[in-house]
Structure 1
Amino acid sequence: MSITPSIARPDRTRRPSQRVLDYYTSQSSFSTPGRQAMRLDALPFDPASVARTVQGLLIYEHVAEPFYGCPIPAERRAESPIRPVERIIDALMALDRQPLDVARSPERRLVGICRHFMLLAIAIFRHHGVPARGRGGFGTYFNPGMFEDHWICEYWKADEERWALLDAQFDDVFIRNLSISHDVLDVPRDKFPLASEAWRRCRSGELNPQRFGIEFSHLRGLWFIAGSLVRDLAMLNGREVLPWDVWGAQPRPNAKLATSELEFFDELAWLPTDPDINFDRLRHRFATDAQVRLPERVFNTLCQREESVFAG
């Protein structure tokens, strides 16, 4: 087994450079509200308010009916593949013309998944000058004993000079149904191992990779964690794609990884372990390595078709 020896837990006591903070304050091509920017001007931007705003605008597709009593009509399933924030806001306003700080009833919220809660939170933070970025990893708080694929927002907590994890998807309804006891505005790191940590701990034999993935879809294993690694690297480079966008080195479902692939992902996992210290390296790797660089077209595994990365 080949594990990159320089992998270490990130130094969360070290303040990122101003260049890093500035980068994550700038909107990406996915998070920019574009012509809808003025709708974010009046929104509060403390973590609790950001979470509350996002929760009043979006509904998580897979629990809409059991948690909120709101079945999703077939024609509205097309909302969850929307990629850019500008189009997300377009769709929100088509459903309800009220200001974005007015919570919609469940049936008038946009249908999305964890990525949409994450991305809209990032857009609001960045719009108001708060550094924020998307992170891909695995939540321990969905199914006991399992690590479920999940994406959340990492924002800069200026008063404490550290990054914190915000799970904007978890409103009171979610918290009650899943018996969540931790702070969803500052998720403990042990509750949400990032993709790089999941890879390292599974490769070392500490954890079983069959516990990582999407349980209800029976998608789990080391191949799944490898794909999460690539998408987490993309988000750290301002490419907040859809969870089912596949390109480059991402393995096929249930693939048994060859030794060369294991070594490739061992080395790749080092970069997002501490994205602040490795900022220049992860930016360079993403820009120059065709195996991880986001192309203009990806394969959308949900829709089973190749499409423009900005489609939707």
Structure 2
Amino acid sequence: MSLDFYRQPVDFSDPKDHAHLFDDVPRGPAATAGVVQGLLMHEHIAPAYGVSLSDRQHAEAHVRPVAGMLAAIVAHDARPLTEPRLPAERQVGVCRHFALLQVAMLRGQGLPARARCGFGAYFEAGRFLDHWVTEYWNDEQGRWVVVDAQMDPRQRELFRLAFDPLDMPRGQFLIAGQAWALCREGAADPQAFGILDMHGLWFVASNVIRDLAALNNREMLPWDGWGAMVMDDSKLDVELIDRIAALTREPDAHFDEVRTAYRDPRLAVPEAVFNHVLNRQEAA
């Protein structure tokens, strides 16, 4: 069952020796989002909080596992996780860290949850920016609910959100497979998808692969590259991405195929990936 697969903290979402830190974390998506917001600082939004990051803090954004994030958090401040840190004292990460830490907390509470890679429509008008969110299973409603745990009160104001980030409406966040379909159908401009000066169909395709990995419990950094990822539209294996995008748009209906597809060496996370920010190979 796919729900059972996403109920257990494994790999990067496993807090390991730090699991006890979750004992006092309040239950549920809204409460865990609040805790996460008091622990993490987005690397590129820090100035909105009046925070200037040091080189050491920027390096924290490259930590992949939740266990490593928790170790750094409590090494710096041993108080319970429920005690919000001052903005300048928070662990630095990006959207993926917010989503993954919340996933770990929700799974620790026995709630099926997973991180999804795609694009947010609410950061810049007319653009879909590279982004990660949390999905959790609402048993009463029989659906996956999308949560942006990064959107604290400051960011809700900053980005002028007119919706509830604890239950994202359709269209505000596009999983990568949805973005790919829109671009392939001519319903969206691939150049509107990306981040900074990187955009285009190749970027969307890379996020499709990252989302497939996340659906297989390998939530990589947004700038990790491997396998079939390329930075040139002309070199894309369009047929391969078409197939994977279709599976990831309905992963529960195609759960066995999602698992099988990930065995493809072009798609599976290898032992080492290329960190495009640090321009080097790193152990995955």
Shorter-chain TM-score bucket reads over 0.9
Distance apart, 1:99 and its partner CA: 0.1
Shift of 1:45: 2.1
Cα distance, 1:26 vs. partner?
Answer: 1.0
**Gapped runs of 5+ residues in structure 1?**
1-18
Q: 1:300 aligns with which of 272, 275, 280?
A: 275
Matching residue of 2:69:
88
Cross-structure match for 2:233: 256
Q: Does 1:53 align with 2:28?
A: no
Residue of structure 2 equivalent to 1:42: 24
Tell me the alpha carbon deviations over residues 83-130 of structure 1, each in whole angstroms, 9 at most, x when there is no partner.
111110000012211000111111110011001000000000000000
Runs of 4+ in 1 over 6 A off after TM superposition: none
Q: 1:242 aligned to 2:217?
A: no
Whole-Å separation in 2 of the counterparts to 1:21 and 1:45: 18
Q: Secondary structure at the match of 2:140?
A: coil
Give 2:257's match in structure 1, choosing from 266, 281, 287: 281
1:269 aligns to what? 245
Q: CA deviation at 1:31?
A: 0.4
TM-superposition CA deviations, 1:33-76 (whole Å, max 9, x none): 000001101211211101100000000111112x1001101222
Counterparts of 1:36-185 in structure 2, within 5 Å, are 36-65=18-47, 67-185=48-166
Is 1:222 aligned to residue 195 of structure 2? Answer: no
Structure 1 length-normalised TM: 0.89
Alignment check: 8 A CA contact 1:154 1:163 kept: yes
User: How far off is 1:196 after superposition?
Assistant: 0.5
Higher relative contact order (CA 8 A, sep 6+): 1
Within a 5 Å distance, the mapping from 1:180-219 to structure 2 comes to 180-214=161-195, 217-219=196-198
Cα pair 1:195 1:228 within 8 Å, conserved = yes
CA distance in 2, matches of 1:116, 1:178: 19
**Cα distance in 2 for residues equivalent to 1:281 and 1:51:** 31
Aligned length: 284
Q: Give the residue type in structure 1 aligned to 2:265.
A: A
Counterpart residue identity of residue 268, structure 2: R
Residue 264 of structure 1 and its aligned partner are, at CA, apart by 1.8
Partner SS, residue 189 of structure 1: coil
Which residue of 2 is the match for residue 290 of structure 1? 265
CA distance in 1, matches of 2:175, 2:246: 12
Measured on the aligned residues, the alpha-carbon RMSD in Å equals: 0.9
Q: Deviations over 1:189-248 (max 9, x none)?
A: 21111100110110111110000000xx21100000000000000000000111111000
**Letter of the aligned partner of 2:4 in structure 1?**
D
* Superimposed CA distance per residue, residues 130-180 of structure 1 (whole angstroms, 9 cap, x where no aligned partner): 000010111000000100110000011122121000100000000011111
Amino acid at match of 1:290: P
Given residue 100 of structure 2, which amino acid in structure 1 is its aligned partner?
L
Q: Return the letter of the residue paired with 2:249.
A: T
Identity between Structure 1 and Structure 2 (%)? 43
CA–CA distance in 1 between the matches of 2:19 and 2:3? Answer: 21
CA distance in 1, matches of 2:277, 2:108: 30
Measured in 2, the distance between the counterparts of 1:290 and 1:80 equals 27
Question: What is the distance in 1 between the residues matched to 2:50 and 2:233?
Answer: 40
Equivalent residues of 2:200, 2:233 under 8 A apart: no
SS of 1:149's partner is strand
